Amino acid sequence: MKSNFLLAVIVFLIGCSGCIEIVDDLSLKQDGSGTFKYSINLSSSKVKVNSLLALDSLDGKKVPSIEEIETKMNEVVAQLKTMEGISNVHAETNFNDFIFKLECDFESVSHLQQAIKTVVNYEAKTTIPELSNHWLEFEDNTLVRSIPRITLQKTKDLKKEDSELLKTGVYTSITRFENEVASFTNLTAKKSKNNKAVMLRTDPYSLTQNPSLLDNTISIVNTP
């Protein structure tokens, strides 16, 4: 199997950085459409990341250049723009502070999920078993949400000392709604003051050890 270059880059950045902040932010409307935002922030480790990117290779593996990372991100954006049910795709790359953001609108969570699966499988040049599961479902005012296992699976290939660095990072998962939240199943989740958002937070290392930490089933109040 050919490796997925973009996922390899993400794993490289995560593993070689002392502190990383990842935020996935899902805004869902009553009709099932919405906006998805994903960001990776390595600004606290930018000196270290810059020194690593200056190398030709690390542990026998080629270190991607900034140009290669940017080119691949542009390719992913271009692919997402062709996906059914996906619109307003936008990405930001800040190579001074190493902050990367991706945003898109979707007609349904099924469209969002399928778009991500299609792009990742295309990049990998094969079908990835970890993507066969559903991690987003919205029906009868209830959202079932988890974290795709593919990136988490790849981080398990990191060396022990690199994995330890993940403990200093933060992974935040936010889900926003038009209506108020009626209930949720994850006991570590927190509800916003306006009762229209739910947040879960952990560190990337704990997430690699237990991917279900951010699993949540959220029911919202039904309005006529």
Q: Say how far apart CA 198 and CA 189 lie, in whole Å.
A: 6
Per-residue pLDDT at 207: 80
Per-residue pLDDT at 1: 32
Q: Say how far apart CA 93 and CA 3 lie, in whole Å.
A: 23
Q: Are residues 66 and 11 in contact, defined by beta-carbon separation less than 8 angstroms? A: no
- What the block records as the tokens of 14 is 């995560």
Give the largest Cα separation in the chain, rounded. Answer: 60
Per-residue pLDDT at 156: 56
Q: Say how far apart CA 120 and CA 80 lie, in whole Å.
A: 10
Domain hosting residue 194, numbered range:
5-220
Q: Say how far apart CA 87 and CA 104 lie, in whole Å.
A: 6
Per-residue pLDDT at 140: 92
Contacts of 106 (CB under 8 A, 6+ apart): 33, 34, 35, 36, 85, 86, 87, 112, 115
Per-residue pLDDT at 64: 78
The DSSP element (H or E) to which 171 belongs, if any, is strand 170-177
Q: Are residues 72 and 120 in contact, defined by beta-carbon separation less than 8 angstroms? A: no
Contacts of 103 (CB under 8 A, 6+ apart): 35, 36, 37, 38, 88, 89, 90, 91
Q: Say how far apart CA 111 and CA 105 lie, in whole Å.
A: 10
Q: Are residues 102 and 112 in contact, defined by beta-carbon separation less than 8 angstroms? A: no
Half-sphere exposure in the Cβ direction for 147 (13 Å, CA): 28
Per-residue pLDDT of the chain (224 residues; tens, 9 = 90+): 334 444 555 555 555 555 788 899 999 999 999 999 999 888 887 887 888 778 777 667 777 788 888 888 888 899 999 999 999 999 998 989 989 999 999 999 999 999 988 887 776 665 555 666 778 999 999 999 987 765 555 555 556 666 666 777 888 999 999 999 999 999 999 999 999 999 999 987 788 778 789 999 999 998 76
Q: Are residues 37 and 25 in contact, defined by beta-carbon separation less than 8 angstroms? A: yes
- Which pTM does this prediction carry? 0.86
94 phi and psi angles, rounded to 5 deg = -120, 100
Sign of the torsion angle spanned by Cα atoms 203, 89, 145, 110: negative
**Number of domains comprising the chain:** 1
